[in-house]
A and B are shown apart, each in its own frame.
Chain A
Amino acid sequence: MSITERPGLTGGADPAERAGWSEHPRRMGFFTDTSVCIGCKACEVACKEWNAVPAGALELTGMSFDNTIGLSASTWRHVAFIEQQAPGPEGPGHGVDGAMRWLMSSDVCKHCSEAGCLDVCPTGALMRTEFGTVVVQDDVCNGCGYCVPACPFGVIGRREDDGGAHKCTLCYDRLGVGMEPACAKACPTDSIQFGPLDELRERAQARVADLQQAGHPEAQLYLEGTDNGIGGAGAFFLLLDQPEVYGLPPDPVVPTRSLPRMWKHAGLAAAGVGAMVVAAFLGSRTDVR
């Protein structure tokens, strides 16, 4: 199969190699199969425990069983809860038409092949690891906050107390010693699967085909391919509804894809400033005495 992705500024077919890792392990990632998620939030807890992520505010949101709200500097796994009507009569296993169903999905940093946060980081605090993942080096980050709006998924955040940016590291420390990330380890239903990305992609293709055959035409893979706006993700998902229902962007594109054009326009505009000043001085010699 041919590689269908465009080389981005820092992404590409093999992001680790592009980042300068000449010899590196296989690219590792997550496949989150939301069809078997039971919403236990063990991943959220395991992540906080292992990575010593501070607790968030305790509040009741009224958003089903979701009181975590979303990914942030101090939430690196987030379980979404959606209560909705089942797809309809053609969906066996859903029983009566119009029955309620509950969608649960554990969201996480996508570790994009073309990572917006990494592209725009001015200090080099964000880096590409040998596993192809994206990690913030806390001792380098100066808290400029540029990565926060640069992420098309709204994953990374800046902490109020320490002023630094934080996000999922795909348990870089555990990977280094051959262990799987804490969330995947804790997941009781294997909704979160960890492994080499190419293997996960095959597994996901088989799973979605099974589900569709079993009467779930709405089952779809999200970010599983490499022909999307982020050049492929290190964490992809099997969803049972449109991505935006889970709070995910339907067609994310890394902002730096249009950066060359932006620089071109900025250059032209800068030249325009010079031209405006020259124009302002042309022909206004009369007032000098």
Chain B
Amino acid sequence: MSTGQPGTDPAREMNRGPAESSGGRHARQGQRQRQGRRRGSGRGEQFMVPRAEFRSYYGRPVIKEPVWKEPDVPAYLFFGGLAGASSVLAAAAQLTGRRGLACAAKAAALGGISVSTVALINDLGRPARFHHMLRVFKLSSPMSVGSWILSAYGPAAGAAALSDFTGFLPGAGAAATAGAALLGPAVTTYTAVLLCDTAVPAWHEAHREMPYVFAGSAASAAGGFALLAAPAREAEPARRLAIVGAAVELTAKKLLERRLESRAEPYQTGRAGALLRAGEILTFCGLAGAGLSRRSRAGSAASGLALLAASALTRFGIFEAGRISARHPEYTVVPQRERKQAREAEAATLAERPGQGGFVADLRAGGYRARDSSHRLRSPGRGDHRERAPGCGGVGLAVRRAPRRPRHDRDRRADLDSGRDRRALYP
């Protein structure tokens, strides 16, 4: 397979196709752009990605930046998470007889979901039509699923809180508490799918870890709020929830950055990077504070406040990272180009094997041929393909695809198999 060395990799050769000039110009623009963005302050002079080469149309974005507004949408994410996890905490507190903790958590759930819903409606282009969300139910639309979850969860959380505050209808209140606790976890994590089910590179590529980041962030926020508001003698479970949630959030975020490697750049640079780092620092402080302040009411409250702020900063940071990755074409173009080249290189080696060197020769010569018709350029047998991609069912799928797996995963595996570092693809 290819070595990743410039000049020997057919994929790289291909990139120097025709019309180098325009591409070169835009690529250089891209380089300048990158050189402007460094990895934060005080972390040395290392660039996250050493001068990725890419071409674009006058540096214009390929995809549209989300039109969702700040602070509406990140606030909706944060308050929704706080509410959802608080409902679970409330039910558990009620079950174990911690009335004060249950009351505080129910208040957080009602307040959180109210703010969250208002923010969501306010973000609509036509807020008066918010009820159109309930015209249909579509599993393919996380926002549709979320709207239905919210419309069941919201009233439940509200009824649970009101019954608790007023003492009316304790039976119905208990049922509402249980209902809210069952739906609460879904409220905390569906929003991750909402963001990731978009073409926004930073969000979509993070879809594996994002629900865990959101779950951890929500749990630490709920724990943090309870530390702040619940009676000290009942706050121990909230403290533990805050600590566990914070740890989960930090771990999931680390895993996300490690898996995405250079593609995690939007999360590490600029305003998004600053927000997320501030969130991390506050999470650490809150985590440590919650662990050490068992005897101190003020210390617990401060830790809770830090965790709440950290959770909010995380949501704002993730939101901003997505917008940045949509705004700059390289985040869309470079991974797609790499994916395509890896697939083509794979197809080329396949073609080489049965002695059909023509396609590879074409690639090496720099002729950039019609990709979508490349299956006509080499035609390995069907069995060959089934062997290569088990689990695809072998229903006449094109050879150069290993279906039913997201392609970047497959490419990643291909890279690992060939011992080639992803970074080697960059010059």
| A residues adjacent to B (C-beta < 8 A) | 2-4, 6, 9-10, 61, 63, 66, 69-70, 72, 80, 82-88, 91, 101, 116, 119-125, 140-146, 148-159, 162-165, 205, 208, 212, 217-225, 227-229, 241-242, 244-253, 255-259, 261-263, 265-274, 276-281, 284-289
Contacts and interface: CB of A to CB of B under 8 A. Distances in A.
A284 B140 contact: no
Contact of A148 (B64, B129, B132, B373): B64
Nearest to B247: A276
A249 to B, nearest CB: 5
B333 interface: yes
A154 B326 CA distance: 10
Interface in B330-366: 332-333, 336-337, 339-340, 362
Given A86-B19, A154-B61, A277 B92 contact: yes
Contacts of A124: 135-136, 138
Nearest to B337: A250
A4 B398 contact: yes
Contacts of B199: 116, 149-152, 154, 252, 255
Given A148-B66, A227-B398, A251 B140 contact: no
Given A120-B140, A266-B190, A276 B241 contact: yes
Given A144-B143, A245-B23, A123 B58 contact: no
A223 B372 contact: yes
Question: What are the nearest 6 A-B pairs in CB distance?
Answer: A143-B125, A163-B125, A84-B22, A87-B18, A247-B57, A270-B185
24 contacts: A6-B404, A61-B58, A66-B58, A121-B141, A122-B133, A122-B141, A122-B144, A140-B135, A146-B194, A154-B199, A156-B64, A163-B124, A164-B125, A242-B17, A242-B23, A247-B58, A249-B63, A249-B332, A255-B197, A259-B142, A259-B193, A273-B88, A278-B92, A280-B244
A154 B19 CA distance: 25
Contacts of A287: 233-236
Interface residues of B, number: 112
A286 B406 CA distance: 48
Given A142-B133, A143-B129, A120 B240 contact: no
Interface in B384-419: 396-398, 401, 403-404, 406-407
Contacts of A159: 125
B197 A80 contact: no
Contacts, number: 353
Given A142-B124, A247-B58, A252-B336, 13 more contacts: A86-B19, A116-B199, A120-B140, A148-B64, A218-B19, A242-B55, A252-B199, A259-B197, A265-B212, A270-B189, A276-B248, A278-B92, A281-B96
Contacts of A141: 125-126, 129, 132
Contacts of A6: 397, 403-404
B245 interface: yes
Nearest to B129: A142
A119 B141 contact: yes
Interface string B274-306: 000000000000000000000000000000000
Contact of B63 (A61, A152, A228): A152
A268 B214 CA distance: 12
A33 to B, nearest CB: 13
Interface string B17-35: 1111111001000000000
